[in-house]
Amino acid sequence: MAALKIHSAEFKASCGAVDQFLKPTLPEVAIVGRSNVGKSSTINCLVNRKGLAKVGKTPGKTQTINFFQIETSGPRFMLVDLPGYGFAKVPERIHQLWAPLIEEFFHSRENLRGVIMLVDSRRVQDSDRDMMAWIGQLNIPIMLVATKADKVIRGKRQAAARELQEGLGVDVLPIFLSAYTGEGKHQVLSQLRDLLDS
């Protein structure tokens, strides 16, 4: 299957409450990951737009659900950026707002085709395991992407992949992606096409 070609990407909405969600008119793919895993950089890399998703020096910057409309060589779709999880310094009241928002999103979006789950290629955290288990229970297709791949030398990739699989308790083979070098981007876009075609 050929990789999806992204023609354009446009920010559509930032939603801090369920009643602000856009009407589900296009297929949607959500992207989730721990705070500071490189979610914004990954989005910008995939859609060829440096400043589309705001990259913050402070983890936990994204506190809303952000919708981006993507025009491609195949189907148009909505890429949905969910708030990062697992960062201890984010105030508890913010966490209490995030959880119901994300839960309602997963339960209510009939047009959700799958989830791109980002994990740091060098380590798995408890919060990653929790998120993976939760998405798995909802029977939503998952694409596992290991970010910051440029920080893991090629000779150690196989071992790193096994560690990620064991740490997360899954058989899914991770795609190693570097938003810095673009390595792995073609593979992610190929799997993205498969998700949208499913």
Distance CA 53, CA 33 (A): 14
The stretch 142-154 carries a mean pLDDT of 95
pLDDT score at 60: 47
Tokens in use for 48? 């060829």
In the chain, what are the domain boundaries? 6-197
C-alpha dihedral sign at 85, 90, 92, 97: negative
Residue 57 has pLDDT above 70, yes or no: no
pLDDT score at 59: 46
The stretch 34-49 carries a mean pLDDT of 91
pLDDT band at 3 (very low <50, low <70, confident <90, very high): confident
Distance CA 7, CA 84 (A): 27
- Mean pLDDT taken over the chain: 87
> In 6-106, where do the E strands start and end?
6-15, 28-33, 65-72, 77-81
| CATH architecture for segment(s) 6-197 | 3-Layer(aba) Sandwich (3.40)
Q: Name the residue with tokens 């790193």.
A: 160
The stretch 32-56 carries a mean pLDDT of 85
pLDDT score at 74: 87
The stretch 135-139 carries a mean pLDDT of 88
Residue 86 · residue 124 · CB < 8 Å: no
Distance CA 85, CA 63 (A): 10
Residue 98 has pLDDT above 70, yes or no: no
Residue 78 has pLDDT above 80, yes or no: yes
Percent of the chain residues past pLDDT 70, beyond the cut:
88
The stretch 89-107 carries a mean pLDDT of 69
* Antiparallel, parallel or unpaired: β 6-15 and 65-72: antiparallel
pLDDT score at 1: 58
20-29 pLDDT, tens digit each: 999 999 999 9
Residue 68 β-bridge partners: 11, 79
H/E stretch holding 147? strand 142-147
Q: At what angle do helices 39-47 and 185-197 cross, to 10 degrees?
A: 80
pLDDT score at 55: 57
Structure letter (DSSP) for residue 128: H
